[in-house]
Structure 1
């Protein structure tokens, strides 16, 4: 149960983070807000590390033996923040969140298939239904907005 609550909290905080960062991006610029986002993350990470402590930090030697793709998380994170700073001001947050969730689901299905050999038609179908629902709902919203404007 704790892991479910933590996952939900992570989703809530991710959405809030995207909104705050994109709002800052509109005021000071996309790259600048992305940099501030990651500087804040660095400061927060340092405080968490100091508060929790880490007895098992890898040495530079250990890190040099790790495959290069292990270190792509930060670069991918910057791309995520930058693109969400572009997208969120242009489409409603609910659509951006659902579309990002759909992308996560499709990526998870691909990773599960490649790494674990576990493919699920039900998960794929669910992702497709969510995406189709988003497009349908956006068309309904567009028609409603057009009627209101006339």
Structure 2
């Protein structure tokens, strides 16, 4: 039972991590620099963990010398996923930022299992797994549609209030389709992020088998991600400057701990899978992620904007969770 609660706990960390990284972006001024700070912090934590668990951060090159190049892509996919979450979080809120990547993860996971991609064990599609996928999609559509309606109503009220002060013309210019992509474009991007996250898990899992250590595999992934982001910052000539956003007196200390939470999540999965099995670990983490995203939206945690969360939206998430259970546990 303790392992199950720990699984829920590590899932709860992911929406909070997105909040921290989004706040860090406000201070450093770039999603790439925010991701770099997060990945660097996670790398330091995993390096320390590898020293404690394995006694070293290094592994034998002979174990991976003859392997395909895609075993190193886990860190790159993680960079894309984390940076995308930072970009879409202000647009969609905590619930949709969590739900849509989960949907992509489930769909890509089915493809990986069915076709044994990335050297994964093959698990053919069954009628129950297909039903589970349909339930996931139905729950996602419900949660996204209801959430989108609330965002639209809030935007309409904002435009109406501003028009009463004589600013309607300026607001209309700033909110035109040419100036702002549609919400469905952001949702599609979030869904694609889930595809990459599922691929990252499969790649890192295979790398862990090759080198004999999930902790070192996670460290490799974070190190690759940190390197990619550092090179990208050099190419774009980004300068790491920390400023205090307008309207705030100082930067919160907690904005630096996004990478730490992400590293705990990676370690937690590696620790729990042998104890609970992959299916129960994933379901427990999803319960935590969904619960965390609801809390973030409802309470406006860690300076996140508050959004309404209705009963119908909660029921949609429960429906999605039932589908996840069918896919993972049957």
TM category, shorter: 0.7 to 0.9
Q: How far 1:30 moved relative to its partner?
A: 0.8
1:10 corresponding residue in structure 2: 10
Of 60-69 and 82-91, deviating more is: 60-69
2:86 corresponding residue in structure 1: 85
Please give the alpha-carbon distance, in whole angstroms, between the structure 2 residues aligned to 1:13 and 1:71. Answer: 25
2:47 corresponding residue in structure 1: 46
- Structure having greater relative contact order (Cα 8 Å, sep ≥ 6): 2
What number of residue pairs does the alignment pair up?
150
Q: How far 1:139 moved relative to its partner?
A: 4.1
1:71 and 1:143, CA in 2 relative to 1: closer, same or farther beyond 3 A?
closer
Please give the alpha-carbon distance, in whole angstroms, between the structure 2 residues aligned to 1:123 and 1:79. Answer: 27
Measured on the aligned residues, the alpha-carbon RMSD in Å equals 2.4
How do residues 64-79 of structure 1 correspond to structure 2 at under 5 angstroms? 64-79=65-80
The alignment status of 1:118 with 2:127, answered yes or no, reads no
More helix by share: 1
1:21 corresponding residue in structure 2: 21
1:62 corresponding residue in structure 2: 63
Is residue 24–residue 33 contact of structure 1 (8 Å, CA) maintained in 2? yes
Alignment TM-score, normalising by the size of structure 2? 0.41
1:128 corresponding residue in structure 2: 137
Higher gyration radius (CA): 2
The alignment status of 1:108 with 2:109, answered yes or no, reads yes
**Structure 2 unaligned runs (5+)?**
117-121, 161-330
**Structure 1 unaligned runs (5+)?**
none
1:95 and 1:32, CA in 2 relative to 1: closer, same or farther beyond 3 A?
same
Alignment TM-score, normalising by the size of structure 1? 0.85
Secondary structure of 1:89's partner? Answer: helix
